Structure 1
Amino acid sequence: MGKKNIGVQGFTMPMPQAILGSRMDGRNNYMALAWVSRVNYNPSLMMISVGKRHFSNAAIKASGEFSVNIPSVDMIEVTDFVGMVSGGKLDKSELFEVEKGELENAPVISKCPVSIECKLFDSMELPNDTLFVGEVVATWCDEDVLTDEVPDIKKVNPFTLTMPDNRYWDIGVCVGRAWHDGKKMK
């Protein structure tokens, strides 16, 4: 059996599911975010892609700050909701309790086990989206999800998004060790 060209999909499978936090006009706003990735080690940079028509896009451009909050599977419903309704039409500021972080316009969601505050480093306009690169200013973790001072994926219990089927999935089990298992082939 060979490969079949299924057209221009462009979706990686799976994508980490996060909640984007921003602040504009004195209120916090949230958006479901799956187009997110670390793109540089030092300085620590994260990339997010946000549609140009989204309220969050304008908020990041105005403040130069944002947060990437990693929800656990018990937050699927509210995560999905913040991705369905625009902050321009509904005030979503009361959906989450927030904690004070290092930045003024990057809300740290209390219920998310991991929250990453970013200051805008660079951006690039794409046809429909803006690619924002943020420099990580602080990473906040619930103490009970840490193992040896590092976030433990089993304890964080995050979920992923697959497209084009639009489904959420849990992470599953560890199947190998990066930069280790391949040594057997040397």
Structure 2
Amino acid sequence: MKKITLATEKLYFGFPIFILGYKDDKWGYNFTTCSSSYTLGDKLNIGLSNQGNAMKQIAKSNCFTLNIPTKEQMKQIIIGGFNSGADKFNFPESFHFELSEIMDAPIISECCLTIECQVDQMIETENHVHIFASIKRRLVEESLIHEHHLDCSQLNPILYMGDSHERKYRYLSPLEKPTT
């Protein structure tokens, strides 16, 4: 297979879309659409632009929620991704939320999975901030639980792909169980 150099400043090869919920000094609570994250045990790491409202607000409150939407929430995902600094919960057809019982951050009602996080450290680079957080609680829609475990065949997050030329959303096909 021949490989060539791709001249691009970005390359997303399939990352789950998530919605960050956070306390907002101006609007009370707010959210933004993101795609850069990973977890290891009880730790979660996310990357954000260091110019956005979300980063500034999370730096003040030191907590946030990570919420996993599904393709049924594409309108809300677009609202979150293209309206920085706006009062996104008050847009028509926006997400609904309730406050976390353990921290001052919103839990997005329509999302099938929520991870509540406390910021441990923020490292700012030239254009981005890397947020290292401790997971305090995981909330999962009941239909995604089977015998006290996550039923991965029922979870279908939206994947974000593309480069600086074009970005796309993709969906998983139904999960097939491995044969033994």
- Which residue type is aligned with residue 31 of structure 1? T
CA distance in 1, matches of 2:111, 2:139: 9
Q: Aligned partners of 2:15 and 2:128: how far apart in 1?
A: 17
Q: Cα 1:52–1:69, aligned 2, differ >3 Å: closer, same or farther?
A: same
Deviations 1:54-81 (A, max 9, x none): 1100111000001110001101121122
Task: Name the SS of the counterpart of 1:105 in structure 2.
Answer: coil
Q: Look up the match of 2:111.
A: 112
Q: Which residue does 1:54 correspond to in 2? A: 52
Q: Which residue of 2 aligns with 1:83?
A: 81
Structure 2 spans left out of the alignment, 5+ residues: none
Q: Is the 8 A contact 2:153 2:175 kept in 1?
A: no
Moved over 3 A (4+): 173-177
State the number of aligned residues: 173
Counterpart-to-counterpart distance in 1, 2:107 and 2:87: 17
Fraction of identical pairs, as percent: 22
Q: Which residue of 2 aligns with 1:170?
A: 171
Q: Indicate whether 1:7 and 2:7 are aligned.
A: yes
Structure 2 matches for 1:12-161, cutoff 5 A?
A: 12-25=12-25, 27-38=28-39, 40-41=40-41, 44-86=42-84, 88=85, 90-94=86-90, 95-161=94-160
Structural RMSD (CA): 2.0
> How does the TM-score come out when normalised to structure 2?
0.87
Asked whether the equivalents of residues 70 and 158 of structure 2 are also in contact (C-alpha less than 8 Å), the reply is: yes
C-alpha distance in 2 between matches for 1:9 and 1:55: 23
Name the TM-score, length of structure 1 as normaliser.
0.84
**CA deviation vs aligned residue, 1:56-107 (integer Å, no higher than 9, x gap):** 0011100000111000110112112210001x2x211333222332433321
CA change 1:152–1:18 in 2 (3 A) is: same
Whichever structure has more strand as a proportion of its residues is: 2
